[in-house]
A and B are shown apart, each in its own frame.
Chain A
Amino acid sequence: MVVLSLLAFYFHDPMTPLSRVKAFCERRGYLTRNTLESYFSFFLISGYMHVSPHPDDARQRIYRPSKTAIDLATQLISAYLIPAQQLIPDAQPAQRTEPTAFLRQYFSGFAHLLDADVLLDGLLPGAKWIMNRDGGHLPMLSLYLDARGFHSNDGGYKVSSYAELSSRLGVSTMHVARLVKEGESKGYFRTQGTLVEMRPAFAELVRHTMAIYFAVTRVSMELGSYALESEIPQPGAGCLG
């Protein structure tokens, strides 16, 4: 959410002080003040963000995403848009534009959802325990897709290999095992020795979570398209922060 907030504020107004985004993220409870500082420093050191003094107030710092960050954000958003398009073809598919124009459209729309605070955490609180961890939703999605290939007789699904999943995602086998153990206590998995079965409730949770991701991406592009074409001031983006 911090990265999305940084980009939403930047594309709304490139002169937004970094402190304003920090205050916003802190107020929303995304991260603590100290962790936000570390996060911003990490993006600065790793070349994803450039920071400079505000032209009108040297005490303030403004920021801009680097070309690497722009390209990466474009690829990640496309990783949601392309499958969403595969599921429900858009009446007005996103135009092939250069990355900055593409992101400006996306974040002009996303800013409305961010401002209204209608995102995954609020829409499906149950998804939080699998999203807010190393690798985000990918371990969960890998578990789901792996298990879908192995139906058991009583409606559950068998998961193939923790080792393969952990290796693919750069997370420890322990991380995947912990996820399954927590999920078991919530009724999402059943373990019998080394065998793990995914319960239908977990399949529903994954499908619902991903439907929200796809919908947020689709609606952001739609809103962004209207926002850029319209001469009407953007009410949502205008309230950001």
Chain B
Amino acid sequence: MLLAMKRAELLDYLHLTISNFYRLDSDAALDKHLQLMLEQYRRKPFFFKSLLNTTG
């Protein structure tokens, strides 16, 4: 049960999922992601410029 996972188990599960995504040829998916993000970004570039800063 995912919800019952301790932090270490959750981290292991996350690493497994990351690994599953990482081993694939992801360029088409990355391009799709960029296009979807830019649809929003183009409407308010200065807002998104700040919003997407990871820390903020």
Contact = CB atoms under 8 A, between A and B. Distances in A.
Interface of A: 1-3, 30-31, 35, 39, 46, 72, 75-76, 78-80, 82-84, 86-88, 112-113, 116, 118, 120-121, 123, 128, 131-138, 141-142, 144-145, 148, 168-171, 206-208, 210-212, 214-216, 218-219, 222-223, 226-227, 230, 232, 234-236
B33 A116 contact: no
- Leading 10 A-B pairs by shortest Cβ distance: A170-B45, A136-B52, A79-B36, A83-B29, A131-B54, A211-B22, A215-B17, A211-B21, A215-B18, A83-B33
Q: Please indicate which of the listed interface residues A112, A128, A211 has the most CB atoms of chain B within 10 Å of its own CB.
A: A211
Interface in B5-47: 7, 10-11, 13-14, 17-22, 24, 26-34, 36-42, 45-47
A135 B45 CA distance: 9
Interface residues of B, number: 44
A200 to B, nearest CB: 14
B52 to A, nearest CB: 3
A235 B34 contact: no
B32 A138 contact: no
Contacts of A135: 41, 48-49, 52-53
A222 B2 contact: yes
